[in-house]
Amino acid sequence: MFTLRSLAATLALAGLVSVAHAWETLPTEAPAPADNPNTPEKVELGKMLYHDPRLSSTGTVSCASCHNTMLGGEDNRPNSMGVNGQTGGRSAPTVWNSAFNHVQFWDGRAASLEEQAAGPVTNPIEMGMKSWDDVVARLKAIEGYQTAFAAAFGLDGINKGNATKAIAAYERTLITPNSAYDKYVGGDLNALTEQQVRGMEKMAELGCTGCHSGPAFNGPGLFQKFPTHSNQYFEAQHRFSKDLGVAEVTKKAEDRHMFKVPTLRNVALTAPYMHNGSVNTLDEAVKIMAKLQLDKDLSKAEVADIVAFLGSLTGPFPKQEMPRLPGTPGTTAN
């Protein structure tokens, strides 16, 4: 039988670095746009802003509250909690490797990390600031931010555009290459277990990689319909069709139930699953996706093999030193 393991051996002997065209390693650096190159000063400022709850109306919610880099890049809640205990209807996507997304948010309403960073701050359910003018005024009142923005962008650098550029620059450092999968695809045939290799082969055989392909396992395109196949049992349990996906933004009938294809990188760490966070375990998520997207019923052994392979996509997290946020001695930031 000609398996991925035998293929890997053949390619390794030939001096090649990839198991097959469909299996790609994650780059060790994320690309930055021409108008926002990464600099140490910008990344450090972005890290501060990302972790600062003072960017919210109540002073209690930061970007990191819902996208926790001490976890899997999200909050392990079905629906994230914003200011005043409010919750939305969707599960927070992971920030890890988000630099490799084609678009941001489940409905793809942001084309870039910079655009994405601007949204939650003024969302009334998430961080609740009335306007970015209010955010800028608050930042200008904090002396430490005056210094940090000047170092990253020059004098008078405190504005919405530079704040979102800094957050995006920091987020582009949040990547997790060199997983067991990456090592295997790179030629280390001992990096995966036999079960993980079976799961890898099963994903290709079933067609999972038709959507979850590429280095980040987030597909060649932008969106995919979910669910593709109707199933009354799963719909009654999880109400997947309640959310109209991209159509919530575009109001177009053809966009109903279209969603951004999420990355499978570090997916073992990001339960609960699906856009509404209604699936508690990875085993169940694999079973549901096979049925609703591919109309396939998997055995327990097949599910276990795929889950084992998905675990190999967990990469080592870069060491981070948490920022010291600039204080406001003797007063508060209003």
Question: Which is the catalytic residue, given 44, 74, 114, 126?
Answer: 126
| Owning domain of residue 73 | 40-171
Are residues 186 and 123 located together in one domain of the fold? Answer: no
pLDDT of residue 222: 83
319 domain-assigned? no
CATH of the domain at 84: 1.10.760.10
Query: By C-alpha distance, which of 227, 223, 233, 195 is closest to 310?
Result: 195
pLDDT of residue 149: 98
321 domain-assigned? no
pLDDT of residue 2: 37
Are residues 298 and 187 located together in one domain of the fold? Answer: yes
Are residues 236 and 151 located together in one domain of the fold? Answer: no
322 domain-assigned? no
Are residues 136 and 192 located together in one domain of the fold? Answer: no
Are residues 145 and 191 located together in one domain of the fold? Answer: no
Are residues 130 and 186 located together in one domain of the fold? Answer: no
Q: Residue-wise pLDDT tens for the chain (334 aa)?
A: 334 444 444 444 333 333 344 799 999 999 999 999 999 999 999 999 999 999 999 999 999 999 999 999 999 999 999 999 999 999 999 999 999 999 999 999 999 999 999 999 999 999 999 999 999 999 999 999 999 999 999 999 999 999 999 999 999 999 999 999 999 999 999 999 999 999 999 999 999 999 999 999 999 878 999 999 999 999 999 999 999 999 999 999 999 999 999 999 999 999 999 999 999 999 999 999 999 999 999 999 999 999 999 999 999 999 999 999 999 999 887 7
Q: What's the pTM value of the predicted model, to 2 decimals?
A: 0.93
326 domain-assigned? no
Are residues 165 and 199 located together in one domain of the fold? Answer: no
CA angle 179, 184, 190 (to 5 degrees): 105
Are residues 146 and 264 located together in one domain of the fold? Answer: no
Residue 140 to residue 333: CA distance in whole angstroms: 10
The residue among 141, 171, 201 that closes a domain is 171
Are residues 92 and 158 located together in one domain of the fold? Answer: yes
Are residues 9 and 80 located together in one domain of the fold? Answer: no
Give how many domains the chain has, as a whole number: 2
pLDDT of residue 5: 47
The residue among 171, 192, 227 that closes a domain is 171
Are residues 205 and 152 located together in one domain of the fold? Answer: no
29 is catalytic: no
CA distances (Å), origin 251, targets 168, 247, 287: 28, 5, 31
Residue 209 to residue 227: CA distance in whole angstroms: 16
Are residues 164 and 45 located together in one domain of the fold? Answer: yes
pLDDT of residue 221: 79
280 domain-assigned? yes
238 domain-assigned? yes
The residue among 171, 190, 223 that closes a domain is 171
Q: Is the Cβ–Cβ distance between 246 and 275 less than 8 Å?
A: no
